[in-house]
């Protein structure tokens, strides 16, 4: 089912996590999904579900790719719980449903569990539910969950209001409770916060009609899993790509990594915070997003790793950085307190944190890099930092034409030197599968250039 709400902040994630935990208590295999460009909520879903959360996004991926991803992920699952984005009908623009949770619910024929923040309302909640039920008759709102209720009396009043108006039933209400509140910071929920799984499961059992909610879901439509990527015998034909993964770098779409493997790469994880060298034999490095600004001092102190990354890039290794990756590939990163820290210096640019600003939105990118074929991919920006404009030399290649679909404006970005490419844009490789193939091919070519130029160390494949 789709867990949706009238707006952001209504409690979708809390309800989703509580239901995942309660369903697992019943012995069910739960496949979590998240609609929209988000790395943080899926990480919490995965911790509670015990399996990787998948991204569904109508604008970035389109209907066919979303249906295929849904079927593949459901191949060995009993129930799918899909957390929506923002409000139920919010998407790319105001005139249509593109990119919205409502669009996805219709594509996948999902019943909707509407989560309503009732902390400051009573009978008016019925008006909200009626408006959402009637806005799009093709959508089925199957039931309602109220969040932040004041107690049993408040919940009884809310139930009666829905019943009197002939609206979908209320199947429970969660009180405000600090035990299952996940702290937030500037990009959303804290990524490394301990998810209170037992408290969430107990809250679901005590306050929600879990079995009735699960009966709303249609029988599991199990799909066909993607076949495993064929393993190639030649080491250079199957290049090794190092994935930065630790407290500072954790924003990756699982599908991106799977597409790299399917295109012929072997992936190995490393920590820019803890490891003093790159894994042995790598010819590519993928630096995803995350919170490098929260760990800038530790990153700057790891001078051996930063120096090796700089040498690796200058020798022709493939380096692909997104957002946080862009920040660490620059010359310096200035934290929120105004303190600058020296970074890898692969690219001649500086970044700094903004005190009260967030860049957020979909982006369509046309790529024209020397080491990649021309192609167009889709993704999003999501950051609270900015480039120090004067630090970027006009001679630095900008190989992206970035279009904002909401304003139709375009800008040049995507900074490139040799086989290094870095941008603030998080691309979803499934929007252009040829991108993963091209990156692996570039890593394969880089392996030839790098042969014998870097020191050997032990590596553990992903």
> How far are the Cα atoms of 129, 388, 392, 399, 422 from residue 396, in angstroms, in the given order?
53, 14, 7, 10, 12
Asked whether 333 and 293 are in contact (CB, 8 A), the reply is yes
* Neighbour-count burial of 421, counting CB atoms closer than 10 A to its CB (0-12 exposed, 13-18 middle, 19+ buried): buried
In angstroms, the CA 269 to CA 461 distance is 7
Let me know how long the chain is: 462
Which of 323, 327, 328, 343 is catalytic? The answer is 323
Is 323 in the active site? yes
Q: How many whole angstroms separate alpha carbon 116 and alpha carbon 132?
A: 11
Order the strands of the 420-423 sheet from edge to edge. Answer: 266-270, 240-244, 282-287, 318-322, 420-423, 410-417, 397-403, 359-367, 375-383, 426-427
How much of the chain is in helix, strand and coil states, percent to nearest 5?
35, 25, 40
Q: What angle is formed at CA 430 by the lines to CA 422 and CA 414, rounded to 5 degrees?
A: 15
Distance CA 16, CA 19 (A): 5
d(CA 413, CA 406): 18
Comparing CA positions, the residue from 89, 102, 115, 124 lying closest to residue 170 is 115
| Active site residues per annotation | 323
């Amino acid at each position: 089912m789709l867990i949706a709400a009238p707006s952001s902040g209504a409690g979708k994630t809390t309800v989703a996590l509580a239901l995942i935990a309660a369903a697992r208590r019943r012995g069910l295999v739960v496949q979590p999904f998240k609609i929209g460009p988000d790395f943080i909520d899926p990480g919490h879903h995965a911790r509670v579900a015990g399996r990787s959360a998948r991204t569904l996004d109508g604008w970035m991926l389109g209907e066919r790719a979303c249906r295929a991803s849904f079927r593949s992920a459901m191949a060995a699952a009993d129930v799918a719980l899909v957390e929506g984005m923002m409000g139920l009908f919010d998407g790319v623009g105001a005139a249509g449903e593109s990119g919205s949770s409502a669009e996805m619910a219709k594509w996948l024929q999902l019943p909707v569990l509407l989560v309503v923040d009732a902390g400051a309302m009573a009978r008016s909640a019925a008006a909200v539910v009626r408006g959402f039920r009637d806005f799009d008759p093709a959508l089925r709102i199957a039931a309602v969950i109220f969040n932040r209720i004041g107690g049993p009396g408040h919940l009884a009043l809310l139930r009666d209001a829905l019943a009197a108006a002939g609206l979908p039933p209320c199947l429970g209400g969660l009180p405000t409770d600090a035990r299952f509140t996940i702290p937030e910071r500037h990009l959303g929920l804290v990524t490394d916060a301990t998810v209170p799984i037992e408290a969430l499961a107990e809250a679901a059992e005590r306050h929600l009609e879990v079995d009735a909610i699960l009966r709303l879901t249609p029988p599991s439509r199990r799909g066909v899993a993607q076949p495993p990527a064929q393993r190639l015998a030649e080491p250079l034909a199957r290049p090794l790509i190092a994935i930065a993964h630790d407290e500072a770098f954790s924003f990756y779409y699982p599908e991106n990594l799977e597409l790299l493997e399917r295109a012929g790469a072997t992936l190995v994880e490393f920590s820019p915070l803890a490891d003093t060298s790159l894994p042995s034999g790598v010819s590519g490095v993928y630096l995803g997003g995350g919170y490098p600004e929260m760990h800038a001092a530790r990153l700057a102190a790891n001078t051996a790793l930063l120096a090796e990354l700089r040498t690796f890039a200058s020798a022709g290794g493939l380096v692909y950085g997104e957002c946080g990756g862009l920040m660490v590939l620059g010359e310096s990163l200035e934290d929120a307190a105004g303190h600058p820290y020296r970074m890898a210096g692969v690219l001649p640019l500086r970044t700094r944190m903004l005190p009260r600003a967030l860049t957020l939105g979909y982006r369509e990118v046309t790529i024209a890099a020397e080491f990649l074929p021309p192609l167009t991919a889709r993704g999003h920006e999501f950051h609270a930092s900015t480039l120090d404009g004067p630090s970027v030399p006009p001679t630095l290649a900008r190989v992206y034409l970035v279009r904002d679909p909401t304003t139709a404006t375009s800008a040049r970005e995507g900074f490139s030197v040799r086989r290094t490419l870095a941008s603030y844009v998080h691309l979803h490789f499934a929007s252009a599968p040829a991108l993963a193939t091209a990156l692996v091919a570039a890593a394969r070519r880089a392996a030839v250039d790098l042969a014998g130029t870097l020191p050997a160390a032990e590596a553990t494949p992903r």
